[in-house]
Structures are given as C-alpha cells and as structure tokens.
C-alpha cells in the first residue's frame, strides 16, 4: 500500500507538470506525512547526506571545464586539428564533427555540453560546405552522446557512486566501446555524405597539419593529463625523480585539474578568456549544475525510500525466481531502460532504476563494470529519443529546427547507437578487456 501510494503520487505530480526533481522528492514527503513509514526528520538528514560526498564534487568541475573550453578557444582549435586530419575524407566535415566530439568528450564528461560546444562551431561550417541541415544536426546530436561514454563521464561517476563500483574501472571500461562508437559514427558520416553526393575537400598538407597540431597542443594536453592522472604511470626512477606507479589523482581531483587547466589555457595561452569572461562562464553554468544536484538528491531520496520499503530486493528476488538466463535478463534491462528513457533524463534513470536492477544483475553474476557500460549506452540512446532527449533540445537550440525534426535527422545515426548497445551487452570483453589488463 505504501509503495503504491508513492508511485501514484510520483506520476500524479508528473502529470500536473511538476519538474522531475519535485515529483521525486514531493512523492516521498507526502507519503511519509500520510503513512509515516519514515520520520520526516530522517528524510531531511538523508537529503543533506546525499550531497555530502567527495565523489559528487566531480560533477560541477567537469561542467565548468567544458564551458571554459568552449569560451576559452580550446574547442575551436581542437576542431581545426580534427579537420586537418580527416577533413579530406568523403563526408570529411561530418567525420570531423565526430572526431571533435571524441576530443571534447575526453574532457567534459557531458553529452549535452558536447553537442552545444561542438555544434555551435560545426553546424554553421557544415551548412557552408553544402551539407543539409538534416545531415548536420543529426550528426552532432548523435555523436555528442559519446560524451558520456568516453571517459571522464558524469553518468559513470553517478553510477559508481550509487553502486560502489570503482569509477576508475568504469572510466577505463568506456574507452573501447567509446572508440567503437566513434568509429561507427565516422563510417556513417562518410556513408550518408556519399548518399548526399557531398564532394571531398582538399587534403591538408603535412605543414598545415603540423600548424593545426601546434595550435591545438595546449588543448590536446588536457585529456592527456587527465588520462595519465587517473590511470597512472608505470613505476620509474630516473635522474632523481621517482614514481611508485599507479594513479596520480582521483577522478574527482581530475575534474578540478581539468577546470583549472581549461581556465589557465584560455586566459594565458590562447588569451581569449578574461577574468570577467571566466566569471560569466561560471555563473552561466551554475544553473545546469544546480539542476543536476537537485535531481540527484531527490532521486537518491526516492531510491532510499524504495530500499527501506524493500522494493529493490523484492524485484531482485522475483527476477531470480524466474530463473531466466543472463542474456534474457540483459535483454529485459535494455527494453526497460529504453522505455524509461523516453520519459526520464539520464540522471534520474541511473539514480532511480539502477538501485532496483543492480542487485539482480550482480546476483546473476553480471560484472558491475559491464552492467554500468550497458546502462550508459542505454542513456546515450535516451539522449536522442523524444520527448525528453536532452541532445534533441540542445540540437534544436543550435540549429533553430523543431525538436521533432532533430529527432528525425538523428534516426539514421541511431543505428550505430543501437548496434553498439547490442555489442556491449552481449560481448562483455569489449568493456572488460582494458580494466582486466590494467588491474587483473
């Protein structure tokens, strides 16, 4: 009865137009007031405890790093470098868009931020080169979802936080699937450009590539420093310098390093970011950070309430009692997350449904890291499906096209996303190879 009341109140609040965070927290509070399964004082303490975690500090700093990169000139130089490498391919500017998304994803950790930053530069450039608006925004909206698979990744941080899975392992596990996804998107970019009969661009000379590389060097150093810092260096002892091996800093500390370096490079290397501009960037980014934390704390409260009522354990026991093989369970998970993704954003999906599905997955012997990558790719698919796909709204803002037109433009590219989902679901080696190689 209590669980039913909670669920009915949640959907009632959604139906009357309440924001998702209000629906999550409000349903818990009203249910507690009506039936008193948990004292209100405990709920207040839980809200504060949800925010008091070192791991969650990574979220605002990766957001700030992405915004500072965009406004400090780093994104444009990364795009110029990517264009010098692959711009001469058939559909080269589309391929450049994908490669630029991969570069940016290696720093930002956010798909909507990737679409916004790369899209503002690449969308007008694609139109000038003769690409259709449909091709251009479809490529950017879908390729931008790589932002949560290529490490660092904000959804991976949240998944690791609530399941107590190593975030470093999750980051490493996303590399191979992310590169496969990016490679598939590049092939799709070339194929669709051939269908539209887009002529190839002149090939950049080695001198032009070298100059583009030098200009992009400081920006390229950012993902390199983050990768080395999180994954570590081998043991060495040379000229009085020594390192015992292993990671240099945690993923949370990496977010601070990324934001600090983006600020320093924008201000003192490229000199496109002033103190006033940096402050404006931080202030403009703060509402997005606040939104994430508001949703996160209420979703964690909702999940805590369900856990206290025994719902996750009951669902886990029911799934195990069905005696389905792991492949069938993973198929069920994909279908459920796909349907949920139509109506909820990625953050609440992770915070609300992973605590319910995760116990059953581990009970069936599914690796937590592998399961995490499956969840992340499902969220990538949800980012480009209406009615709440964030990448569609960002793409609409960038292009000026209606949201549904952006969705139709993304449909051919979503074939790659669906293919990657099937691969990572049923070929665990893709996700687990690198973590196993590095950690055994």
26 pLDDT band, cuts 50/70/90, is confident
Integer Cα distance of 267 and 197 in angstroms? 42
DSSP assignment, residue 123? H
- 3-state class (DSSP) for residue 237: strand
Reported as a pLDDT band with limits 50, 70 and 90, residue 340 is confident
For residue 413, what are the CA distances in angstroms to 138, 165, 367, 391? 7, 31, 29, 13
Evaluate if residue 311 carries a pLDDT over 70: yes
pLDDT of 440 reads 60
Looking at per-residue confidence, does 21 or 239 come out higher?
Answer: 21
Tokens of 151: 């490490």
Q: How many CA atoms lie less than 13 Å away from 246 in the CB half-sphere?
A: 3
CA-closest candidate to residue 116, choices 137, 93, 94: 137
Indicate the DSSP class of residue 236: E
387: left (phi over 0), alpha (psi -120 to 50) or beta: alpha
Q: Does the bond joining 251 to the residue before it have cis omega, within 30 degrees of 0?
A: no
What distance in Å separates the CA atoms of residue 297 and residue 123, rounded to the nearest whole number?
35
For residue 122, the number of C-alpha atoms closer than 13 Å in the C-beta half-sphere is: 37
Question: Per-residue pLDDT tens for 133-181?
Answer: 898 899 888 988 888 888 888 889 889 988 889 888 998 899 899 999 9
Confidence at residue 29, expressed as pLDDT on a 0 to 100 scale: 83
Look at residue 353 and tell me whether its pLDDT is greater than 70: yes
* Of the candidate ranges 105-109, 183-187, 339-343, the one whose mean pLDDT is the lowest: 105-109
Distance between terminal CA atoms of the chain? 47
- Per-residue pLDDT tens for 245-291? 566 777 788 888 888 998 999 999 988 888 898 899 888 888 877 77
């Amino acid at each position: 009865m209590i669980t039913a009341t909670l669920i009915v109140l949640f959907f009632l609040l959604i139906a009357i137009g309440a924001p998702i965070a209000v629906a999550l927290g409000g349903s818990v509070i009203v249910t507690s007031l009506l039936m008193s399964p948990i004292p209100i004082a405990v709920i207040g303490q839980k809200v504060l405890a949800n925010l008091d975690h070192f791991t969650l500090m990574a979220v605002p700093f990766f957001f700030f790093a992405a915004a500072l990169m965009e406004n400090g000139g780093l994104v444009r130089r990364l795009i110029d470098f990517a264009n010098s490498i692959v711009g001469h391919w058939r559909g080269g500017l589309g391929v450049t868009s994908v490669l630029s998304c991969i570069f940016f994803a290696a720093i930002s950790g956010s798909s909507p931020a990737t679409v916004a930053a790369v899209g503002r530069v690449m969308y007008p450039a694609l139109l000038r080169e003769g690409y259709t608006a449909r091709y251009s925004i479809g490529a950017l909206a879908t390729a931008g979802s790589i932002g949560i698979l290529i490490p660092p990744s904000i959804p991976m941080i949240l998944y690791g936080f609530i399941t107590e899975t190593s975030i470093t392992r999750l980051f490493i596990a996303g590399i191979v699937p992310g590169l496969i996804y990016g490679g598939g998107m590049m092939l799709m970019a070339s194929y669709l450009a051939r269908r539209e009969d887009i002529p190839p661009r002149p090939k950049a000379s080695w001198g032009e590539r070298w100059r583009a590389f030098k200009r992009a060097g400081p920006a390229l150093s950012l993902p390199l420093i983050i990768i080395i810092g999180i994954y570590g260096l081998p043991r060495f002892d040379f000229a009085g310098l020594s390192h015992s091996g292993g990671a240099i800093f945690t993923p949370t500390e990496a977010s601070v390093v990324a934001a600090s370096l983006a600020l320093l490079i924008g201000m003192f290397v490229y000199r496109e970011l002033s103190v006033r501009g940096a402050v404006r960037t931080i202030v403009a980014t703060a509402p997005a950070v606040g939104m994430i934390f508001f949703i996160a704390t209420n979703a964690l409260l909702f999940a805590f309430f369900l856990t206290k009522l025994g719902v996750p354990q009951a669902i886990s026991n029911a799934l195990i009692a069905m005696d389905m093989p792991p492949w069938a369970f993973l198929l069920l998970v994909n279908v459920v997350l796909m349907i949920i993704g139509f109506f909820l954003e990625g953050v609440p999906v992770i915070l609300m449904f992973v605590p319910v599905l995760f116990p059953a997955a581990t009970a069936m012997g599914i690796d937590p890291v592998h399961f995490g990558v499956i969840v992340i790719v499902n969220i990538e698919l949800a980012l480009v499906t209406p009615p709440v796909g964030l990448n569609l709204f960002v793409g609409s803002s960038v292009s000026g096209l209606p949201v549904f037109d952006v969705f139709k433009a993304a449909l051919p590219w979503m074939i790659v996303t669906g293919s990657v989902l099937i691969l990572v679901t049923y070929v665990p080696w893709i996700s687990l190879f690198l973590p196993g190689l590095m950690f055994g």
